[in-house]
Amino acid sequence: MYRHLVLKQDFEVAVAGTTAGDSPVERRFVIRKNRLIERLRRTRLSRLLCNLEYLQNWIMVPQPLMQFAQEFRPDVVVCVVEDWHMGLAWQIATRLNVPLVVNFQDLFCLSQFVPDKMRPFHWLVPFLVNRYRMLNRKAAQSFYTSEGMGNWFGQDGRGDVRVHLIFAV
């Protein structure tokens, strides 16, 4: 994404996310979590809190994040789909009435590489899978990093673009 949207400076880009502070983009918004919640994330409650955030991010957008998005006035919202940010991206695009472009790099809620403290509970996985399918179906454009990802979605997508990653040695 950096190479395509930031490096060439063909687009005016703003970044919002939990790790946006690491972004080289000038306009960025770091989604900060409540201090008490952050302290509790270092306890046994971490996984529960993370799973509750997965649900919460489909219901409400933090007001400062929505204000940041409204002030930037994007033409499109682009989201690398994963379990935490995708609900926020969907809500922002819907509220601002702009297209949503999604990049599916993995089905995180089904992945074995998600840390235990962030792993969705078994009862939440079907909800998240349905959200992946809904985003793929309703997005203005969907990008997949592999043929297998596109095949997993089948005919649900409005887009059929495959992004192939090339590694140089």
Can you tell me the distance from the alpha carbon of 133 to that of 151, in angstroms, rounded to the nearest whole number? 12
Residue 84: beta bridge partners? none
Can you tell me the distance from the alpha carbon of 17 to that of 24, in angstroms, rounded to the nearest whole number? 13
Cβ atoms of 49 and 40 closer than 8 Å = yes
Alpha helices in the chain (DSSP H): 35-40, 46-56, 63-72, 86-96, 125-138, 147-153
Using 50, 70 and 90 to split pLDDT, how confident is the model at 2?
low
- What is the average pLDDT across 17-28? 85
What is residue 166's predicted lDDT score, i.e. its pLDDT?
Answer: 40
Q: Which residue has the higher pLDDT, 81 or 156?
A: 81
Can you tell me the distance from the alpha carbon of 70 to that of 7, in angstroms, rounded to the nearest whole number? 24
Q: What is the pTM of this model?
A: 0.84
Can you tell me the distance from the alpha carbon of 163 to that of 143, in angstroms, rounded to the nearest whole number? 6
Q: Which two tokens stand for residue 25?
A: 């983009």
Q: Where are the domains of the chain?
A: 32-162
pLDDT above 70 as % of the chain: 85
Model confidence over 36-72: pLDDT tens digits?
Answer: 888 888 889 999 999 999 999 999 999 999 999 999 9
Can you tell me the distance from the alpha carbon of 169 to that of 166, in angstroms, rounded to the nearest whole number? 10
How many angstroms separate the Cα of 54 from the Cα of each of 25, 83, 86?
Answer: 26, 6, 9
Residue 133 above 50 pLDDT?
A: yes
The DSSP letter of residue 114 is: S
- What is the average pLDDT across 132-151? 88
Q: Which two tokens stand for residue 143?
A: 């990008």
Model confidence over 146-167: pLDDT tens digits?
Answer: 788 888 887 655 554 444 334 3
Q: Which of 125, 127, 121 is nearest to 50 (CA)?
A: 121
pLDDT above 90 as % of the chain: 44
- What is the average pLDDT across 108-121? 88
What single letter denotes the amino acid at residue 64?
P
- What is the average pLDDT across 133-151? 87
Residue 94 above 60 pLDDT?
A: yes
Q: Torsions phi, psi of 88, nearest 5?
A: -65, -45
